[in-house]
């Protein structure tokens, strides 16, 4: 599942465009005027526009308006990442994790994910949490995994909500907290996660039964 998720995120990162009409070249790109878009993106990138820099990298990666050139795409991605564009940082992390266009390095992937995650970029927070959870490119650390999964969960990601709920349920990386687990399972369930709904109902039932048993025991003292 990790490989499939990573590939899906990579494809999303490398096909995304900034839906911002004010970015030079964006309207040309939307209209299919790829040569004009490439020129506009390049001019804006040279002037430090980080979104145009990222879009130029994507055009080079896919071979739009010219031949595909991964090396040149990576060059522009690194320029955008240096300008602190979280999406570019995350994309570089995914490439490093796969060894696609850059040397394969799980440690380098973690470094890029961290830079992106600190800016609040949700996909990077999930990937960073997984790096720590599995000990990939970083020392295995349930506490840090839980922290980043919860940050992603706060942004509404159902998968992250399920993961942090499970960690609260079992006290993994966080103090065991059944009400918190029920709450996060419930949020994931509200987004259609059937498994989370079952977990929330089961935990709530057991929690209620436990309280009832405690109350009953106390009444005989």
What would the pLDDT profile of 47-61 be if each residue is shown by its tens digit?
999 999 999 999 999
d(CA 45, CA 193): 41
Task: Reply yes or no on whether the pLDDT at 69 is more than 90.
Answer: yes
Task: Reply yes or no on whether the pLDDT at 20 is more than 90.
Answer: no
Q: What is the mean pLDDT of residues 159-174?
A: 98
d(CA 139, CA 107): 10
CA proximity to 136, closest of 93, 173, 175, 174: 93
Please state which of the ranges 33-47, 97-111, 178-192, 204-218 shows the lowest mean pLDDT: 204-218
Q: Which two tokens stand for residue 73?
A: 């795409």
**Quick check: helix, strand or coil at residue 85?**
coil
pLDDT value, residue 24: 87
Return the ∠ at Cα 175 (arms to 179 and 214), rounded to 5°: 50
pLDDT value, residue 219: 55
Please say whether the structural domain 142-216 has been given the CATH code 1.10.10.
no
Q: What is the mean pLDDT of residues 189-206?
A: 95
- Distance set, CA 105 to CA 12, 86, 90, 109, 110 (Å): 21, 19, 14, 6, 9
d(CA 169, CA 206): 12
| pTM, to two decimals | 0.85
Query: Which stretches does DSSP call E strand in 117-171?
Result: none
pLDDT value, residue 21: 57
Task: Reply yes or no on whether the pLDDT at 169 is more than 90.
Answer: yes
Task: Reply yes or no on whether the pLDDT at 66 is more than 60.
Answer: yes
Q: What is the mean pLDDT of residues 208-220?
A: 62
d(CA 50, CA 35): 19
Q: Give the chain's length.
A: 221
In the chain, residues under CATH classification 1.25.40.10 are 1-140
pLDDT value, residue 120: 97
**Quick check: helix, strand or coil at residue 56?**
helix
Under 8 Å CB-to-CB from 97, ≥6 apart: which residues? 6, 104, 106, 109, 137
Task: Reply yes or no on whether the pLDDT at 84 is more than 50.
Answer: yes
Chain-centre distance for alpha carbon 172: 21
pLDDT value, residue 161: 98
The string of pLDDT tens digits covering residues 70-81 is 999 999 999 999
Task: List the CATH code of the domain at 1-140.
Answer: 1.25.40.10
d(CA 196, CA 179): 14
């Amino acid at each position: 599942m990790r490989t499939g998720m990573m590939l899906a995120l990579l494809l999303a990162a490398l096909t995304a465009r900034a839906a911002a009409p004010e970015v030079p070249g964006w309207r040309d790109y939307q209209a299919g005027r790829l040569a004009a878009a490439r020129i506009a993106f390049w001019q804006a990138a040279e002037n430090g526009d980080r979104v145009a820099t990222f879009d130029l990298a994507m055009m080079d990666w896919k071979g739009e308006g010219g031949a595909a050139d991964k090396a040149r795409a990576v060059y522009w991605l690194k320029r955008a990442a240096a300008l602190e564009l979280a999406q570019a940082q995350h994309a570089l992390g995914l490439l490093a994790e796969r060894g696609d266009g850059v040397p394969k390095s799980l440690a380098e992937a973690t470094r890029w994910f961290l830079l992106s995650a600190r800016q609040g970029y949700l996909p990077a927070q999930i990937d960073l949490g997984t790096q720590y959870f599995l000990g990939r490119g970083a020392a295995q650390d349930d506490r840090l995994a839980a922290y980043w999964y919860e940050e992603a969960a706060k942004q509404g990601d159902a998968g992250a909500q399920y993961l942090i709920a499970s960690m609260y349920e079992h006290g993994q990386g966080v103090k065991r907290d059944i009400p918190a687990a029920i709450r996060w399972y419930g949020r994931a369930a509200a987004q259609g996660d059937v498994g989370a709904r079952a977990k929330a109902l089961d935990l709530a039932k057991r929690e209620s039964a436990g309280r009832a048993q405690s109350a009953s025991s106390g009444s005989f003292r």
